[in-house]
Structure 1
């Protein structure tokens, strides 16, 4: 008689995300995840092939959560940026992995859809929408990466700097209709 399953793929991924946020990527090991879900490490291999597959599944889960956080704000670039920033602060280690080679392209496309759609509303359904979405995402990712890393040490109000830059990014996207 086969032994009963004592954990699920979703529990394994949730445990991996917990460990990722607590200890960073190096803390996400098969043994640590197994301990967290209450099984022996070999039991994980029924659900996840290896550590690389585990990290890829974790990153995909993070990306899907980001997409869910952004979707309600489709059409409003300011709200999208605020939601993106909030997501990054709540999931800093997961956020750092969004740009990694582990990030599945199909998941990135799903998460990017609200930004591309919002930019298309400003510049039209064309290649310009993708360009605008890339500019918007690059700025937001860069700002948030620096903020999470504590790189804004010159003083001043970081929230005000975020709002200032965001207003100018949105204005630039809007003005690009004539560019």
Structure 2
């Protein structure tokens, strides 16, 4: 009789996401995940081939969460604000999906064995932003507008997470100013 399964893939990915947030990518090990879900490390390999696959699954799960949050956005500015909130609430996941390899140390990150997340996961997270950007910039410029806003918002949030706003001032006011300026600039001219 086969040994009963003691954990699920969902539980493994959830534990891995929690470990990622607590200890960063370097702290995300198969042993740590096994302890978190209450099995021995070799048992994880029934569900997950290796650490690279686990990291890919964590990234896919993070993209899915981000897509769900963005789907609830009322407009482009609300979408950007939800994007920022995700970055603040799940900074390690934010870095993983927006700056693969950042802070991972040697031997980790894009091009160093960590698989790239499939286009379908990025597309799901991007679809709402493109749709909302099209409402502001028009269908013809929807992708360009979505890229512009995403690049600005991602850079802003990454600077926040990395302590890049050391000159003082009100960061919330800077976010509101920048968001207003970027969204306003996306309206087609003539």
- TM normalised by structure 1 equals 0.95
| CA distance, structure 1, for counterparts of residue 94 and residue 119 of structure 2 | 16
Residues 111-156 of structure 1: CA deviation (Å, up to 9, x unaligned): 0111100111122222x21111000000000000000111101010
User: Is residue 97–residue 103 contact of structure 1 (8 Å, CA) maintained in 2?
Assistant: no
CA drift of 1:104 comes to: 2.5
SS in 1 for 2:139: coil
**Which residue does the alignment assign to 1:117?**
131
User: Is residue 136–residue 169 contact of structure 1 (8 Å, CA) maintained in 2?
Assistant: yes
Q: 5 Å matches for 1:84-163?
A: 84-99=83-98, 100=100, 101=110, 102-126=116-140, 128-163=141-176
Specify every segment of 5 or more residues in structure 1 that has no aligned partner in the other structure, as ranges: none
**Which residue does the alignment assign to 1:172?**
185
Please tell me whether residue 41 in structure 1 is matched to residue 41 in structure 2: yes
| CA distance, structure 2, for counterparts of residue 159 and residue 79 of structure 1 | 15
User: Is residue 63–residue 107 contact of structure 1 (8 Å, CA) maintained in 2?
Assistant: yes
**Which residue does the alignment assign to 2:81?**
82
| CA distance, structure 2, for counterparts of residue 132 and residue 87 of structure 1 | 21
Residues 73-123 of structure 1: CA deviation (Å, up to 9, x unaligned): 15x111111111111100000000113243322111000111100111122
**Which residue does the alignment assign to 2:58?**
58
| CA distance, structure 1, for counterparts of residue 170 and residue 79 of structure 2 | 21
Specify every segment of 5 or more residues in structure 2 that has no aligned partner in the other structure, as ranges: 101-109, 111-115
| CA distance, structure 2, for counterparts of residue 82 and residue 7 of structure 1 | 35
Q: Matched residue pairs, number?
A: 175
User: Is residue 146–residue 152 contact of structure 1 (8 Å, CA) maintained in 2?
Assistant: yes
- TM normalised by structure 2 equals 0.89
CA drift of 1:20 comes to: 0.1
CA RMSD of aligned residues (A): 1.1
